[in-house]
A = this chain, B = another copy of it.
Amino acid sequence: MEEANVRIVIVEDDKVIREGYRFLIGEKQGYQVINTYSTAEQAIKKLSEDNPDLVMLDVGLPGMSGIEAIPKIKSLLPHTLILICTVHDSEDIIFRALTNGASGYLTKNSSAVKIMESIREIMQGGASMSANVAQLVIRSFQRNSHSPLSRRETQILEEIAKGKNRRVIADELFIDNETVKSHIKNIYAKLNVHSKADAIRTAKENKLI
């Protein structure tokens, strides 16, 4: 035997897409579609019986959204993996899906080959994202390269964002308390703010830290 059967459940309100997925997966060796549902509510009622290894989930479902469904599925079946397959590629939805516990995110232009490949990757203990999703995720890690803040100022603002106070920052950087204070004054002037919270917010909005 090559590998155990992968038990898959599909949650998708569009019948054509749902049956398309069922057909696509059903014909593949080692993969089995246990059940399909058109709403998250229906799926959640039956999932414990179905006991799937992987749930393919749309986000644009009527009633409970796929995003809301993720933590509920995860609490019912903690070891079940979730692959989001959807047309929605807004940054907000993608990040909420991933923080809520999804192991993969494909946008719907993904080919049949890509979908099967993602399922394989996820089942082999990894995760998977389509190229446009990966781009958003990677971009979220990157800094603005045209920061108005100097290197030292950026460094100090990062420490402030960790909740450290001036004295601690000064000690760690081997500089005087007053020097840290001066840097903070300059940071506030450059960002046009007057408090820690505003500086942190502004800096994060502009990817300065």
Seen from chain A, the residues whose Cβ lies within 8 Å of a Cβ on chain B are 74, 95, 98-99, 101-104, 121-122, 124-132, 134-135, 137-139, 141-143, 145, 160-165, 168, 195-197, 199-201
A128 contacts across to B, CB distance below 8 A: 131, 134
A98 contacts across to B, CB distance below 8 A: 138, 141-142
CB nearest neighbor in B for A137: B137
Tell me which of B134, B163, B199 contacts A129 (CB under 8 A): B134
- How many of these chains are in the complex? 2
Tell me which of B102, B138, B161 contacts A103 (CB under 8 A): B138
**How far does the alpha carbon of A163 sit from the alpha carbon of B158 in the complex, in Å?**
11
A141 contacts across to B, CB distance below 8 A: 95, 98-99
6 A-B contacts (beta carbon < 8 Å): A121-B131, A126-B135, A127-B135, A127-B139, A163-B163, A163-B195
* Minimum distance in angstroms from A103 CB to a CB of chain B: 7
**How far does the alpha carbon of A162 sit from the alpha carbon of B160 in the complex, in Å?**
10
A137 contacts across to B, CB distance below 8 A: 127, 137
